[in-house]
Amino acid sequence: MTVLSTHPMRELKMGSIVVRTERRPDGTLYVIPDRELAPYPTRLTDRLHYWAALAPDRVFIAQRQDGGDWRAVTYGETLRKVRALGQALLARDLSPDHPLLILSGNEIEHALLALAAHYVGVPYAPVSPAYSLVSQDFGKLRHVVRLLTPGLVYASDGARFARAIEATIPGDLEIVTRTGALPGRRCTPFADLLATTPGVAVDLAHDQVGPDTITKFLLTSGSTSTPKAVITTERMLCSNQVMLREILAFMKEEPPIILDWLPWNHTFGGNHNVGLVLFNGGSLYIDDGKPIPGAIEETVRNLREIAPTIFFNVPKGYEMLVPYLRADRALRETFFSRLQTNFFAGAGLSAHVW
């Protein structure tokens, strides 16, 4: 009782988790919620429209600029940029047979391009940057390019991705870069796409996006074989977000604020976390740190400034944060100041970390 009175727990509003089970004659076990799934929107970008109208000046996404101050994009700005990028994507005749391929990791431009693809019904595939920047033979990237036959490729830094592009991307394919050109290649600056004036075609394309529209090809990790492309539809993303919102009911009263490094080429970071922020009108601060020696320090630096309402990580991330939280009272006070819940996945949490 002394501990509880000294360190009172915050009241947490959660939804119903009551379920019933049914076992079929063939041994299959069904776990069924006691409530029907709440209504969900037709497409994820309906929520972008909603929040851009309700809270246009709220930060949607932010990232440190060259390791310095935070660069933030509001909901109102996001919608304007997404519509411009959507017009640019429509001009390139992309389709499920020739999707947008994103080679870069988590960054503002990646998020804007992905949402633009959502907006106009163009499928995209976020690819692990390790396939381009760590691999020496580019075997998995070459397989992905053959599998998806992209119609457009985005690589944030032309110089960093040059070797991978030269080795795997057909010479006539357009490459978009945020910085750095690719001599001898058909290369377009991201700023040029962003300068496109959206027209009525964007509205028509958005209206045609429906629940069964393919929005993303999410690649499996390739740990057991070559990566497979998992089809992801608007219905899948939107219904899943309603499931989360009904369970994590506190998000209905307080938009989530998260600081997150989890990669967008995985379902945890790219579908769950980015979707959760957009769906509930929250703010996502991109963490350029990682739970590895020499990179956890950046996460700690960011947590001194950004107090999350939900904190997502893998067990190793919590393990590496514990010594910093134990040693630094100011860091503890900021980290826990508005925290509603911690969440981990991917492995079990060690007993001493728990």
> Tens digits of per-residue pLDDT, 47-72?
999 999 999 999 999 999 988 999 99
pLDDT value at position 262? 96
CA distance 330 to 302: 13
Q: What is the reported pLDDT for 12?
A: 87
What is d(CA 323, CA 319) in angstroms, rounded to the nearest whole number? 8
Q: How confident is the model at residue 5 (pLDDT cuts 50, 70, 90)?
A: low
**pLDDT given at position 223:** 72
Six token digits for residue 275: 């979707």
User: Residue 140's pLDDT band (boundaries 50, 70, 90)?
Assistant: very high
Q: Which residue did the predictor score with more confidence, 222 or 88?
A: 88
Q: For residue 63, which of 289, 335, 287 has the smallest C-alpha distance?
A: 287
Query: Can you tell me which residue has the tokens 């739970």?
Result: 291
Position 222 scores a pLDDT of 73
User: Stretch 149-154: mean pLDDT, rounded?
Assistant: 98
Mean pLDDT computed over 326-330: 96
Average pLDDT of 191-201? 97
CA distances 141 to 21, 103, 180, 228, Å, are 43, 9, 21, 12
Average pLDDT over residues 232-236: 98
Give the whole-angstrom CA distance, residue 212 versus residue 215.
Answer: 9
Residue 303 near residue 292, CB atoms below 8 Å: no
Q: What is the pLDDT of residue 4?
A: 54
Asked if pLDDT for residue 3 goes beyond 60, the answer is: no
What confidence category does residue 16 fall into, taking pLDDT thresholds of 50, 70 and 90? confident
Instruction: Give the per-residue pLDDT at 307.
Output: 97
Q: Average pLDDT of 278-297?
A: 97
Handedness of CA 341, 258, 17, 250 (dihedral sign): positive
Report pLDDT for 1.
Answer: 43
What tokens does 222 get? Answer: 């390739």
Average pLDDT of the residues in 239-263: 95
* Lowest pLDDT segment from 5-9, 79-83, 136-140, 306-310: 5-9
Q: Are 29 and 21 in contact (CB under 8 A)?
A: yes
The pLDDT of residue 6 is: 67
Contacts of 179 (CB under 8 A, 6+ apart): 156, 157, 158, 159
Q: Which helix (H) or strand (E) holds 70?
A: strand 70-74
Would you say residue 2 has pLDDT above 60? Answer: no
- Across the chain, what does the average pLDDT equal? 95
Q: Average the pLDDT over 283-299 and give the result.
A: 96
Lowest mean pLDDT among 144-158, 190-204, 220-234: 220-234
Alpha carbon distance 48, 277 (integer Å): 10
Count of CB atoms situated within 10 Å of the CB of 32: 9
The more confident residue out of 10 and 263 is 263
